[in-house]
Amino acid sequence: MSLPSSPPSLPSWLQWWQRPFPDANTLLVRGSRPALIDSGFVGHAEETAAWARAQAGTVDLVVNTHWHSDHVGGNALLQATGTVIAAGAPEAEAISRRDAGCCAAEYLDQPVAPYTVGLSLDDKQVLRLGDTDWEVVRTPGHTPGHLALWQPDERLLVVGDALSDYDVGWVNLALDGPDAAATALASVKRMAELDPRVVLPSHGPIPLAPGPALAAALRRAQRLVDDPAGAVWYGARRIFAFALMIRDGIPAEAIEPYLHARAWLTDAARLLDLTPEALADELVTTMLRSGTVVLREGRLHAAADHTLVSAESLRVPYPRAWPAMGPRRAQG
């Protein structure tokens, strides 16, 4: 069966912004309650807010598919102008407690500006975005609080990092346990059962055909279940590439000390029965060999397309130093 030549059409009230790394794609739902789904990376928060204002004037609500840095980076800036932030219940509750591990920001060494969550979302909850009703679909795996959003009238499915047209989201077996890959697979199965007309991923283009995209995602997610070591390697490669992207590369002589200081690398080495030093060396060597990272003018860079980030924008505190949360606004 041949694939269509163009992606499925979107309704006029939905604005899609496909963004390169380190930002997640951003989706704006127009209407009486303008809503943004994910807000990009902190280094481009001004750009995110300006785009949203140009499209909708104001943004009443930001819904985060999950709390990784490339999805929540504009939250703080938008919240300062009155926007309410919504997130899946487990992550919303951790942010409310100001847990040191929020957003895995310190663990992954990915900065996130402090924000609060005004609306905690549960599975099957109906949420009004713009002038349309969306159903919250819990899809844990990539993170414990990961969620998808389902618009049944148009059969639109926002899938976050659960899948894209080229892969599935990495899983953290060290933090989330050995069943994280099986949990992610079950989430992809649940989304496939919805039989969406359009799949809207957080990275890459809109798939031309949802059915084949979901079928491929199921095969890829199954591989993470069948090959735990491969799942650990996959996550390590993704995390390291992202670190290079947001720092405009890292000097070659600083790579070893940088990696040796990372908690995620230490955990990955333990799961692979390697020393951190051996894993760091093999990670750099294999990624150079595959071309996913390149050495240029004495710095190691990620090869994938990405947008530069100013060093100043990364100077935000880890969640352990976030200010205490004030009284929470109840939202419906």
Half-sphere exposure of 148 (CA within 13 A, CB side): 30
Three-state SS at 88: strand
- Going by C-beta distance under 8 Å and a sequence separation of 6 or more, which residues neighbour residue 120? 86, 87, 88, 89, 92, 93, 96
Q: What is the pLDDT of residues 21-38, one digit of tens each?
A: 999 999 999 999 999 999
DSSP H helices, 57-88, are 69-72, 75-79
Contact of 122 with 141, CB cutoff 8 Å: no
C-alpha to C-alpha distance for 181 and 170, rounded to whole angstroms: 8
Domain ranges of the chain: 14-227, 228-319
Would you state the pLDDT for residue 4? 80
Contact of 144 with 184, CB cutoff 8 Å: no
Would you state the pLDDT for residue 329? 46
3-state per-residue secondary structure call for 209-221: CHHHHHHHHHHHH
Neighbours of 1 (CB within 10 A): 5
318: exposed, middle or buried (Cβ count in 10 Å: 0-12, 13-18, 19+): middle
Would you state the pLDDT for residue 86? 98
Q: Which residue type sits at 203?
A: H
Distance set, CA 290 to CA 103, 304, 305 (Å): 29, 12, 16
Q: What is the pLDDT of residues 214-230, one digit of tens each?
A: 999 999 999 999 999 99
Nearest C-alpha neighbor of 38 from the set 119, 158, 133: 158
| DSSP letter (8 states) at residue 162 | S
Would you state the pLDDT for residue 325? 77
Q: Which residues pair with 147 in a beta bridge?
A: 138
pTM: 0.96
Would you state the pLDDT for residue 330? 40
The ranges of the chain with pLDDT < 50 are 327-332
Nearest C-alpha neighbor of 248 from the set 43, 32, 29: 43
Q: Which is the CATH superfamily of the domain at 14-227? A: Ribonuclease Z/Hydroxyacylglutathione hydrolase-like (3.60.15.10)
Q: Which residue type sits at 239?
A: I
